């Protein structure tokens, strides 16, 4: 059993003893802490909290616990049921609510679930707010309502409202998509994507849809993280149908992977690159991605004479940098598209609509569009150290050693060489340094990563 308490939410495996898994007592405790925090730090006059969930097997049980705890704290609950993460984020603002809770463990396997906590803007809480909720939970510093002030619950479906919000975006060209007469394959890993993606595609004018794993029963047919090694089935479907493009989402639909017409992977890192290319072509402006994302976004941004900025890893850090730089598009290299014209949250519905608009207007195949971008490969490695070693001191020494290069230290240490980069981040839970490196070939990426790893090992002696 596992229970991971972090500033971004509470994640754990279902069951186990108190404090060892995400069980009913721990769920109620953390929801109560969140409710008390919102009550004391209200951003609006609203007494509403929105609750949405993915299709995990544990979802209904978690939903009942969360809704009950919020009502007990005196909040009225808008329960939107089975809904994507971006749908829940949008529902918070559409309801003018004081916050929201998303029940999803994102790409984690079926035994996991989580509480993702939102503010009144439908955005994830920042580090300071998350730390305060963890403190309140440990101290059991809660405020509950008396019998005359218990909350009420209403149930609503926000899927069609989310789809309409996507259709209303200026750069979503429904007529061009209809005219292109695309055939589209989708893999929704038997979660909420199976509800929303067919409806979205139909609304965009796509009538030929090849569905794979679209029954929202939480029985994931493969590892739900949309990585190439988990996507063999849709790759085969692309080769055995006339599909022009394939889309794969994770269980809560905030990550988007694209499959080429020949069954090859477009590359999760390039989801953001392609969508940004389309957005920048029509609305030039700044872009943002986290330090561990591909340099290809920077290259595409500069092609349009615009400015790229890196952020620390984590969606809340990306959105903060996007606001600071007035970015028109941003996100993360794991297939997370953040488009401020819609909202500040990763949204695969927005990503699909913008990519199909791009594909329709370019009049190229998906593989041809992919080939038009700079080719990069990312290698992911790690250095294991002994517990007594001062990891921060090693990172500082690496920074000094490579001070002649372009170095960024807002999140670990990233060294930008002219044609490659290496990003070093320490783990918060174990004595290791994660080493991400990128170059024009995988061999070069692994080699430069290996060179920096050798420096770390030498410094650790």
Distance CA 370, CA 179 (A): 22
Distance CA 157, CA 147 (A): 28
Q: Give me the residues paired with residue 22 across strands.
A: 14
How many Cβ atoms from other residues are within 10 Å of residue 232's Cβ? 11
Buried b (16+ CB within 10 A) or exposed e, 105-121: bbbbebbbbbbbbbbbb
Using DSSP's 3-state secondary structure scheme, residue 82 falls into: strand
With beta carbons less than 8 A apart as the criterion, state whether 68 and 79 touch: no
With beta carbons less than 8 A apart as the criterion, state whether 417 and 431 touch: no
Distance CA 422, CA 204 (A): 40
With beta carbons less than 8 A apart as the criterion, state whether 36 and 9 touch: no
Establish whether 372 is a catalytic residue: no
Do β-strands 286-290 and 208-212 pair in parallel, antiparallel, or remain unpaired?
unpaired
Set 106, 235, 243, 357: catalytic member: 106
Do β-strands 76-82 and 48-53 pair in parallel, antiparallel, or remain unpaired?
parallel
Q: Which residue stretches of 95-182 are H helix?
A: 127-139, 159-167, 174-180
Distance CA 179, CA 430 (A): 53
Q: What are phi and psi of 348, to 5 degrees?
A: -75, -25
With beta carbons less than 8 A apart as the criterion, state whether 310 and 408 touch: yes
Among residues 159, 167, 208, which one has the least CA distance to residue 55?
159
How many Cβ atoms from other residues are within 10 Å of residue 15's Cβ? 13
Using DSSP's 3-state secondary structure scheme, residue 417 falls into: strand
Distance CA 366, CA 357 (A): 12
Which residues form the catalytic set? Answer: 106
């Amino acid at each position: 059993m596992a229970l991971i308490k972090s500033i971004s939410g509470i994640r754990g495996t279902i069951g186990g003893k108190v404090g060892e898994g995400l069980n009913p007592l721990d769920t109620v405790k953390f929801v109560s802490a969140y409710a008390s925090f919102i009550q004391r730090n209200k951003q609006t006059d609203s007494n509403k909290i929105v609750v949405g969930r993915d299709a995990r097997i544990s979802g209904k049980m978690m939903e009942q616990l969360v809704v009950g705890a919020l009502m007990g704290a005196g909040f009225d609950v808008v329960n939107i049921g089975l809904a994507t993460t971006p749908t829940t984020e949008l529902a918070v603002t559409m309801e003018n609510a004081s916050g929201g809770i998303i029940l999803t463990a994102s790409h984690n396997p079926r035994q996991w679930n989580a509480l993702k906590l939102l503010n009144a803007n439908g955005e994830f809480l920042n580090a300071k707010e998350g730390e305060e909720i963890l403190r309140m939970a440990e101290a059991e510093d809660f405020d509950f309502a008396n019998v005359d002030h218990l909350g009420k619950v209403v149930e609503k479906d926000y899927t069609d409202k989310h789809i309409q919000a996507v259709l209303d975006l200026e750069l979503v060209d429904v007529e061009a998509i209809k005219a292109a007469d695309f055939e589209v394959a989708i893999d929704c890993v038997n979660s909420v994507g199976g509800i929303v993606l067919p409806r979205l595609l139909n609304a965009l004018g796509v009538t030929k849809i090849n569905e794979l794993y679209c029954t929202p029963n939480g029985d994931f047919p493969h590892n739900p993280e949309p990585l190439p090694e988990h996507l063999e089935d849709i790759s085969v479907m692309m080769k055995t149908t006339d599909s022009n493009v394939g889309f794969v989402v994770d269980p809560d639909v905030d990550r988007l992977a694209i499959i080429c017409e020949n069954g090859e992977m477009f590359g999760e890192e390039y989801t953001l690159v392609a969508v940004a290319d389309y957005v920048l072509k029509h609305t030039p402006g700044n872009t943002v991605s986290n330090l561990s994302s591909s340099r290809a976004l920077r290259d595409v941004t500069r092609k349009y004479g615009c400015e790229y900025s890196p952020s620390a890893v984590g969606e809340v850090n990306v959105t903060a940098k996007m606001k600071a730089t007035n970015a028109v598009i941003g996100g993360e290299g794991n297939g997370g598209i953040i488009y401020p014209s819609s909202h500040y949250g990763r949204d695969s519905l927005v990503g699909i609509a913008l990519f199909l608009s791009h594909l329709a207007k370019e009049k190229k195949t998906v593989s041809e569009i992919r080939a038009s971008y700079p080719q990069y490969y990312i290698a992911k490695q790690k250095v294991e150290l002994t517990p007594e070693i001062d990891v921060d001191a090693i990172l500082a020494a690496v920074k000094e050693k490579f001070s002649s290069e372009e170095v960024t230290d807002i999140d670990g240490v990233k060294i930008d060489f002219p044609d490659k980069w290496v990003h070093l981040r320490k783990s918060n839970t174990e004595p290791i340094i994660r080493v991400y490196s990128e170059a024009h070939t995988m061999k070069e990426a692994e080699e430069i990563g290996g060179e920096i790893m050798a420096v770390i090992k030498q410094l650790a002696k």
